[in-house]
Amino acid sequence: MSDRVDGMIMAPPRPRATRSAMTADASSTQSAAVEIGVSAADAEKQFAGFTFLDATQQAGADWLGGKLGQDLFSTAQFLLTQDGIAKVAPESTYADGVDPGPAKAAAGE
């Protein structure tokens, strides 16, 4: 069962992820390969350089707990200079649009 949030379909919550689900192990690499139609070796290359964050890290100040809102605002400012968007909303609009609550809940905070 899924829910709709602001027009987006959200997957149902899952139990807390295990460490193996947050790494590019052989089974996740094979699953990704099948899903995108490439070899396991090519899928493994796609995982190179990925950062896999646990819920506590996601909720922290460097991600959902603050920096992501700042980064979204900075991106909007850049896009304005490139004529990619017509105007930039107030910085609080971007910060308020990021909710670390679900990550905090998954982390048991």
Mean of the pLDDT values across residues 59-67?
Answer: 95
Spatial contact of 90 and 45, defined as CB atoms under 8 Å apart: no
Q: Which amino acid, one-letter code, is at 77?
A: Q
Spatial contact of 73 and 95, defined as CB atoms under 8 Å apart: yes
pLDDT digits (tens, 9 = 90+) for 4-27: 445 555 554 444 444 445 555 678
**pTM score of the predicted model:** 0.62
62 & 107 share domain? yes
Distances (CA, A) of 18 to 14, 53, 92, 100: 11, 11, 34, 20
Could you tell me the residue range of the domain that residue 35 belongs to?
A: 19-52
57 & 44 share domain? no
87 & 43 share domain? no
pLDDT band at 30 (very low <50, low <70, confident <90, very high): confident
Spatial contact of 76 and 89, defined as CB atoms under 8 Å apart: yes
77 & 26 share domain? no
pLDDT band at 46 (very low <50, low <70, confident <90, very high): confident
Spatial contact of 28 and 36, defined as CB atoms under 8 Å apart: no
**Residue 21 tokens, joined:** 């689900």
**Does 69 reside within a domain?**
yes
96 & 67 share domain? yes
Find the helix packing angle between 40-47 and 26-36, rounded to 10°: 110
69 & 101 share domain? yes
